[in-house]
Amino acid sequence: MRERLLKPFRAKGGVRVPHHKNTANLQSVVMPPPKQVVIPMLQHIGAPCKPTVKAGDKVLVGQVIGDTEAYMAAPVHASVSGTVKEITSILMPSGAPVEAVVIESDGRMEKADCAPPDVGTKENFLKAVRASGLVGLGGAGFPAHVKLNVPPDKEVDTLIVNAAECEPYITSDHREILENSWSVLSGVYAVKELLGIQRVIIAIENNKPDAIQLLSEIAGKEYDPKNEVRVMALKSVYPQGAEKILIRSCTGRKVPPGKLPADVGCIVMNVTSVAFLAQYLKTGLPLVSKRITVDGSAVQNPQNVIVPIGTSVSDVIGFCGGYKETPKKILYGGPMMGTALSDDRFPVLKQNNAVLAFGEKEAKLKEPSACIRCGCCMYVCPMNLLPVSLAQASEAKDMDKLEKYRVMTCIECGCCSYVCPANRHILQAIRLGKQYYKEHGKAGK
């Protein structure tokens, strides 16, 4: 196994966060279909889909219920069988209204006719990826067929499979590797072969030795005589799994501001996305369910649960034994980069990998005090920024300084806020600065 492990390049910055991987050793549990699911038409970066069904229609698992002509989008499928109750508008956590299809489940989970897609050519492969509804399952929601369609003027030589999972609490990718390792490897070889990519690096933080061992052993068998698929054990330093940081750790290459991984010869795919793709190529069943980590101090029985997409957070937490105490903070995703939810009525989306609920003690924000100019925020910033100056420019809405200090380079990892001894809400300020810059600066023109 040892010779299959690659050594990472040195990456700057980052912080050591407590792992809290409480669910890493628990087998995932499949949740029975809830009474109803609410499936938003926008679960990806890009244009929203339009519902292709109407109230009263009968639907089957895997049936298309929303699509669009737009390239930057992915179709949406029914996750349960039953009857469309209504087409409605719901508010997403950002406050933006989105159309959603509400389906009342008949409890039978009857599947639509699905057949393995024809992927004989690159064009057919990309069509199949789009039809599967796959988007980046690690949280970003970037349509997979767009990511895999590398423009002819760019040459990609490396596929990086992101299995870092550096956020505290989240173990859904880790469980995917342990429970579906063959799908992970099969997906890796499918993408590698169909896109003609020479080498694959499966990047995992070194706090998951069982996953590293398993993938190294399988990849080392006769399937890879040229030794092109290698595992890389990364240091457990947050935000190791952020795309640009990962590319630097795996290849030593730097993605310039405003550029994409393909500009430096890389494609980065989340490990669960790769495993899903392998299953889709075998069965033709689109993306209709998701494994999510349910954890946090307010949850009775933390575990990984495989749920139909569109199941409400309250139903998922109910399935995990309900709340131990009144939740004061509920998150889609991890505590560092997750999105806060105003309540638990929001549906589970394709790109969600965790739902965390915290009680009073963990949710309480510390009072900020004056900056003591210690420089800690600058030291940990993986993007080489000056977080304290950026926060000041954001608060002052100073466009010149926002530009000078490269506000759009911030990857919103939150390391600066995490280490600040004065508890300053640096990231919060920078996010507002980014928004202001997009609306009034060059990015918005």
**Tokens 């020479």 identify what position?**
198
Task: Work out whether 402 is an interface residue with ligand SF4 (CB under 6 A).
Answer: no
Q: Which stretch binds ligand SF4 (CB under 6 A): 85-93, 197-205, 293-301, 425-433?
A: 425-433
429 forms part of the interface with ligand SF4 (CB under 6 A): no
Pick from 214, 231, 292, 381 the residue near ligand SF4 by CB under 6 A.
381
Interface with ligand SF4, residue 248, by CB under 6 A: no
Quickly list DSSP for 170-181: --HHHHHHHH-H
Cα–Cα distance measured from residue 178 to residue 142, given in angstroms and rounded to the nearest whole number: 25
**Cβ proximity of 103 and 82 under 8 Å:** yes
Q: What is d(CA 303, CA 120) in angstroms, rounded to the nearest whole number?
A: 39
Q: Tell me if 385 contacts ligand SF4 by CB under 6 A.
A: yes
407 binds ligand SF4 (CB under 6 A): no
Q: Which is nearer to ligand SF4, 159 or 381 (CB)?
A: 381
Per rule CB under 6 A, is residue 373 in the interface with ligand SF4?
yes
From 307-315, 333-341, 372-380, 394-402, give the range in contact with ligand SF4 by CB under 6 A: 372-380
Q: What whole-number distance in Å separates Cα of residue 196 and Cα of residue 157?
A: 8
Among 45, 408, 411, 443, interactor with ligand SF4 by CB under 6 A: 411
- The nearest distance, CB 400 to ligand SF4, in angstroms, is 18
Residue 229 tokens read as 């698929």
Nearest approach, Cβ of 433 to ligand SF4 (angstroms)?
10
CA 199 to chain centre: 23
User: Cα separation of 161 and 271, whole Å?
Assistant: 6
Q: Is 432 in the site for ligand SF4 (CB under 6 A)?
A: no
Q: Which is nearer to ligand SF4, 340 or 374 (CB)?
A: 374
Q: What value, to the nearest 5°, has the Cα angle with vertex 327 and ends 323 and 328?
A: 175
Tell me if 416 contacts ligand SF4 by CB under 6 A. Answer: yes
Which residue from 370, 427, 430 is spatially nearest to 15, judged by alpha carbons? 427
Of the candidates 201, 427, 434, 437, which one interacts with ligand SF4 according to CB under 6 A? 427
How many residues bind ligand SF4 (CB under 6 A)? The answer is: 28
User: Site for ligand SF4 (CB under 6 A): which residue of 33, 66, 414, 433?
Assistant: 414
Q: Smallest distance, Å, CB 387 to ligand SF4?
A: 4
Residue partners of 237: CB distance under 8 A and separation at least 6: 11, 14, 15, 16, 166
In this chain, which stretch among 183-191, 264-272, 289-297, 380-388 interacts with ligand SF4, using CB under 6 A?
380-388
Out of 227, 372, 397, 404, name the contact with ligand SF4 by CB under 6 A.
372
The Cα 268–Cα 288 span in angstroms is 23
* SS3 label, residue 330: strand
Q: Work out how close the CB of 121 gets to ligand SF4 at its nearest, in angstroms, rounded to a whole number.
A: 40
Q: Are 281 and 128 in contact (CB under 8 A)?
A: yes
- Residue 45 lies near ligand SF4 (rule: CB under 6 A): no
**Contact flag: residue 421 with ligand SF4 (CB under 6 A):** yes
- Of the pair 355, 388, the CB lying nearest ligand SF4 is at 388
Which residue stretch of 19-27, 132-140, 176-184, 421-429 sits at the interface with ligand SF4 (rule: CB under 6 A)? 421-429
Q: What is the DSSP string of 348-402?
A: PPTT--EEEEE-HHHHPPPPP-------HHHHH-TT---HHHHHHHHHTT-HHHH
Q: State the nearest-atom distance from the C-beta of 133 to ligand SF4, in Å.
A: 31
- Which residues neighbour 193 within 8 Å (Cβ) at sequence distance 6 or greater? none
Strand order, beta sheet including 29-30:
29-30, 303-308, 289-295, 354-358, 329-332, 339-341
- Tell me if 415 contacts ligand SF4 by CB under 6 A: yes
Residue 367 interacts with ligand SF4 (CB under 6 A)? no
The residue (of 195 and 443) whose beta carbon lies closer to ligand SF4 is: 443
Using rule CB under 6 A, residue 412 touches ligand SF4:
yes
Minimum CB–partner distance for residue 376 and ligand SF4 (Å): 4
CB of 443 to ligand SF4, least distance (A): 16
d(CA 320, CA 169): 16
Neighbouring C-alpha atoms within 13 Å toward the C-beta of 6? 21
**Contacts to ligand SF4 by CB under 6 A:** 371-377, 381, 383, 385, 387-388, 390, 410-416, 419-422, 424, 426-427, 430
